[in-house]
Structure 1
Amino acid sequence: MLLSILTLAACNNDERIPLAAGEQFVPLEVGLYYDYQIDEILYTNDIVVLDTTYYLREEVVESFINAQDSVYVIYQYTKANLVDDWSYFDTWQARINNQQLIVTEGNTPFVKLTFPIFAGKIWDGNSQNQLEEDNYQLDSLYFPYTINDQQFESTITVVQNDNEDFIVEQDRRYEVYALNVGLIYKEELLYSYCTDDNCLGQQQIQSGVFRTQSLIDYGKN
């Protein structure tokens, strides 16, 4: 996949298509890296089957111009403990122009942001893939946010879903971006509840995951 991407255009690390208001919250640039702590709990039949913490690094390793998009190749690395060495995990891609930021996770593109930004803005995060419509909403613009003893003075929050159905399923997902930094926090809560006659409404998790992704370090190589 990576080779096919790179053949589309000549690499030029210095090029960048200008953005509308909101660019400062996604400052993509070759050499930038972001280290995250991932906390994950998996449930099956109301039993915790996995409760783990590991670490993720995302590093922008390449960029080029493709049609009207600035394209960035992102390598992901993981490790089980802070003292371990990073191991390559996956390659993602981010495409950005003066209308939207599209991040391809695996082989699925999601519209993470649209520009210009303003409070209450709504868009379909799945408009670039084959999944059903999933409306994202821009919320909490320019608010301070603290995570892992790091204070960020200006952030935006993208609410990807806020379904709090305690009978059938919950789907709560959101991402927080900091000014001149990028993604600093991500949270996903996806629970499917037992709906049999003997357990309906008792919030017994038939299957589910609760995952947080918290920034612990960032910089530029």
Structure 2
Amino acid sequence: MQKIYPIKYPKLSDSYWVRGFCFFLTTLFYACSSLDSTELQPNILSTRDYLMQEKGQFCVFSVHQISYTLNQKATESLFFEKHIVIDYPNNEGVLVAIFRKNQENTNWIETGRKLVVLQNGKIIEIQSNQTQCILVNPIEVGTRWNFQLYSPTKAQQAQITRLLPPMTYSHKTMSNLVEVELFKDSSALSLQKKQVFFAPNFGIVFSKESNVSYCYEGKCLGKGQINYGTIITYELIDYGKE
């Protein structure tokens, strides 16, 4: 009868196997860390890519507004805005017409226009005699700039706060989104803040602007109870080309 010898398994205490096992764990750790860090790193690193790209392109937003009045119940309203590119001057920006309607089955009414231009790597929005810088290079967390250009008041600091994971708007999953805080002035008495999400080829797909004053008397002081003001939110619900 053939003699069967038992198989000798290596001990984890053997230095060779310990080194190999540690190398495997280290490699696995760095691979996972690298994946986590690159998933949110945008592939598009230029402000040009965060503009609407062609004539006839449009975006439709659902707009939700909450209005507060002193000693009265807050009121809510919902309407829709359509932003459509009507000209593409010199491939350095877009002229956008803005339409509005209060109900889905009514006609669009033009309410204004804005010029969104690319100048020295900055996206500048010109509307109603206001010139605002809404995004700059490099597209990296921590990038800061002056949002309110040519303003006689103090400079308002904007900054890129986050690189966002893929998000879905109007049944389209979008990648390389960037969160920007365009301005923030916060205290126990008031809040002025605007937060926006940029998506490649669309520009802004979400925004929330708060301009409210808090109660400053008695027990409500410092508790965030709103006396008056507005909070308005835009969210992309449709897009296409005409």
State the TM-score, normalizing by the size of structure 2.
0.73
Q: Note closer, same or farther for the CA distance 1:104–1:131 as it changes in structure 2 (3 Å cut).
A: farther
Aligned match for 2:134, one of 101, 112, 133: 112
For 2:79 and 2:73, locate their aligned partners in 1 and report how far apart those are by CA, in whole Å.
Answer: 17
Q: Confirm whether residue 124 of structure 1 aligns to residue 146 of structure 2.
A: yes
Q: Confirm whether residue 57 of structure 1 aligns to residue 82 of structure 2.
A: yes
Alpha carbons 1:194, 1:204 under 8 Å: kept: yes
Q: Which amino acid aligns with 1:157?
A: E
Identical columns (%): 21
Alpha carbons 2:63, 2:81 under 8 Å: kept: yes
Name the structure 1 match of 2:16: none
Structure 1, unpaired ranges of 5+: 1-19
Q: Which amino acid aligns with 1:184?
A: V
Alpha carbons 2:161, 2:180 under 8 Å: kept: yes
Per the TM alignment, residue 193 of structure 1 is displaced from its structure 2 partner at its CA by 1.2
Q: Note closer, same or farther for the CA distance 1:87–1:128 as it changes in structure 2 (3 Å cut).
A: same
Per the TM alignment, residue 179 of structure 1 is displaced from its structure 2 partner at its CA by 2.1
Name the structure 2 match of 1:212: 233
Alpha carbons 1:37, 1:216 under 8 Å: kept: yes
Larger radius of gyration: 2
State the TM-score, normalizing by the size of structure 1.
0.80
Per the TM alignment, residue 207 of structure 1 is displaced from its structure 2 partner at its CA by 1.6
SS at structure 1 position matched to 2:131: strand
For 2:202 and 2:190, locate their aligned partners in 1 and report how far apart those are by CA, in whole Å.
Answer: 33
For 2:152 and 2:93, locate their aligned partners in 1 and report how far apart those are by CA, in whole Å.
Answer: 21
Per the TM alignment, residue 64 of structure 1 is displaced from its structure 2 partner at its CA by 2.2
Alpha carbons 1:31, 1:59 under 8 Å: kept: yes
SS at structure 2 position matched to 1:24: helix
Higher helix share: 2
Per the TM alignment, residue 142 of structure 1 is displaced from its structure 2 partner at its CA by 5.1
Q: Confirm whether residue 91 of structure 1 aligns to residue 113 of structure 2.
A: yes
Name the structure 1 match of 2:67: 42
For 1:100 and 1:80, locate their aligned partners in 2 and report how far apart those are by CA, in whole Å.
Answer: 33
Structure 2, unpaired ranges of 5+: 1-44
Matches within 5 A, 1:1-221: 21-65=46-90, 70-141=92-163, 143-147=165-169, 149-165=171-187, 167-197=188-218, 199-221=220-242
Name the structure 1 match of 2:24: none
Alpha carbons 2:51, 2:93 under 8 Å: kept: no
